[in-house]
A and B are shown apart, each in its own frame.
Chain A
Amino acid sequence: AQSVTQLGSHVSVSEGALVLLRCNYSSSVPPYLFWYVQYPNQGLQLLLKYTSAATLVKGINGFEAEFKKSETSFHLTKPSAHMSDAAEYFCAVIERGGSYIPTFGRGTSLIVHP
């Protein structure tokens, strides 16, 4: 079975600093990869997804992620954090050629300090 690991349940940054949220997957065949954001009392919103086109994927709100097969990683970055980025972030994978059943990581809470 696939698994997704998000290193760090909490990440704290200062406003204007680089945001780096880590995601590693475990499957022999690279899956489809997704990053979602969840604000308090809301559902999940897709930030970006990797579907085997360019390995550097640009998403909404200035976020981007790079797929690295050799490292089985799909880390999420943003050059400059904004207070409004404070939220919970989830990495998810879906197996290629399988059923549409996402496996989610445990989530990383991003805290942005003024």
Chain B
Amino acid sequence: KAGVTQTPRYLIKTRGQQVTLSCSPISGHRSVSWYQQTPGQGLQFLFEYFSETQRNKGNFPGRFSGRQFSNSRSEMNVSTLELGDSALYLCASRLAGGTNTDTQYFGPGTRLTVL
């Protein structure tokens, strides 16, 4: 079974631009979550999508948004980029069988650099 894939792996943008990151979950997984990882703040939860609906949301400004398609693939968008948005963005998928003991499977991440 293929793992979680994220594209692109590396991205360089300038302040004020917007960016879209893509995530393909493991086949059969219905939930996709996004995380931001930075040296200063560590790993922080952005949001989770399940069956094309945002199920949970972390404490991030509205510039961060996402969506999920009917095939469970997900995209994350960041508008009006700031220098502080430079981070590793991780996507994770799980079956979401109704329990909080699910195992999440992480993709390799997209390294975003904002200049």
Interface residues of A (CB under 8 A from B): 32, 36, 41-46, 49, 51, 90, 94-107
Contacts and interface: CB of A to CB of B under 8 A. Distances in A.
B56 A41 contact: no
Interface of B: 4, 31, 33, 42-45, 48, 55-56, 58, 90, 92, 94, 96, 100-109
Q: Interface centre among A41, A44, A46, by most B CB within 10 Å?
A: A44
B20 to A, nearest CB: 19
A44 B106 contact: yes
Given A100-B48, A100-B100, A101-B48, A43 B106 contact: yes
B101 A51 contact: yes
A42 B105 CA distance: 12
Given A43-B109, A46-B103, A51-B101, A101 B4 contact: no
Q: Interface centre among A45, A49, A95, A102, by most B CB within 10 Å?
A: A102
Contacts of A42: 108-109
A106 B48 contact: no
Contacts of A90: 43
